[in-house]
Amino acid sequence: MTYLAKPKLHHPTLACNAIGFTRRDYEGKISTLCAGCGHDSISAAIIQACWELDIEPHRVAKLSGIGCSSKTPDYFLGQSHGFNTVHGRMPSVLTGANLANRDLIYLGVSGDGDSASIGIGQFVHAIRRGVNMVYIVENNGVYGLTKGQFSATADQGSVSKKGVANTDSPLDMVSMALQLGASYVARSFSGDKQQLVPLIKGALTHRGAAFLDVISPCVAFNNHPGSTKSYDYVREHNDAVNQLDVMLPRAEIAVDYAAGDSIEVEQHDGTVLRLRKLDETYDPRDKLAAMNLIQQRQAQGEVVTGLLFVDREARDLHGHLGTVPVPLNTLNAAELNPGAAALAKINAALR
Ligand SMILES: Cc1ncc(C[n+]2csc(CCOP(=O)(O)OP(=O)(O)O)c2C)c(N)n1
Ligand code: SF4
Ligand SMILES: [Mg+2]
How many CB atoms are located within 10 Å of the residue 233 CB? Answer: 15
Indicate which atom in ligand 2 lies nearest the CA of residue 36. Answer: 7
CA distance 298 to 292: 10
For 50-101, write each residue's pLDDT tens digit. 999 999 999 999 999 999 999 999 999 999 999 999 999 999 999 999 999 9
CA distance 27 to 24: 5
pLDDT beyond 70 at 239: no
Q: What 8-state DSSP symbol labels residue 72? A: G
pTM: 0.89
Domain spanning 23-321, CATH class: alpha beta
More confident residue, 245 or 208: 208
For 150-197, write each residue's pLDDT tens digit. 999 998 888 887 788 889 999 999 999 999 999 999 999 999 999 999
pLDDT of residue 270: 72
Tell me the pLDDT band of 248, cut-offs 50, 70 and 90. Answer: low
CB 120 within 8 A of CB 233: no
Ligand 1: centre distance to CA 146 (Å) = 6
Q: DSSP for 267-308, please give it.
A: -TTS-EEEEEEPPTT--TT-HHHHHHHHHHHHHTT-EEEEEE
Tell me the pLDDT band of 3, cut-offs 50, 70 and 90. Answer: low
Beta strands in 126-183 (DSSP E): 133-139, 142-143, 149-150
Ligand 2: centre distance to CA 39 (Å) = 8
pLDDT of residue 201: 96
pLDDT beyond 80 at 227: no
Instruction: Delimit the domains of the chain by residue range.
Output: 23-321
Does 144 sit in the ligand 1 pocket, CB within 6 Å? yes
Does 140 sit in the ligand 2 pocket, CB within 6 Å? yes
User: What share of the chain has pLDDT > 90, as a percent?
Assistant: 71
pLDDT beyond 80 at 268: no
Mean pLDDT along residues 121-146? 97
Strand order across the beta sheet in which 303-310 lies: 81-84, 60-64, 105-111, 133-139, 209-215, 184-189, 303-310, 272-277, 262-266
> What are the Cα distances from residue 29, in Å, to 8, 43, 75, 77, 349?
11, 11, 5, 9, 53
Q: What 8-state DSSP symbol labels residue 119? A: T
pLDDT of residue 107: 98
Indicate which atom in ligand 1 lies nearest the CA of residue 110. Answer: 15
Ligand 3: centre distance to CA 316 (Å) = 28
pLDDT of residue 228: 29
Does 33 sit in the ligand 2 pocket, CB within 6 Å? yes
Does 67 sit in the ligand 1 pocket, CB within 6 Å? yes
CA distance 198 to 207: 16
Tell me the pLDDT band of 273, cut-offs 50, 70 and 90. Answer: confident
Q: Whose CA is nearest to atom 8 of ligand 2?
A: 37
Q: Whose CA is nearest to atom 1 of ligand 2?
A: 144
Range with top average pLDDT, 127-141, 258-272, 334-348:
127-141
- Judged by its nearest atom, the ligand closest to the C-alpha of residue 111 is 1
CA distance 262 to 300: 12
Ligand 2: centre distance to CA 214 (Å) = 15
CA distance 32 to 2: 7
Long-range contacts of range 342-347, CB-CB < 8 Å, 24 or more positions apart?
A: none
For 281-305, write each residue's pLDDT tens digit. 999 999 999 999 999 999 998 999 9
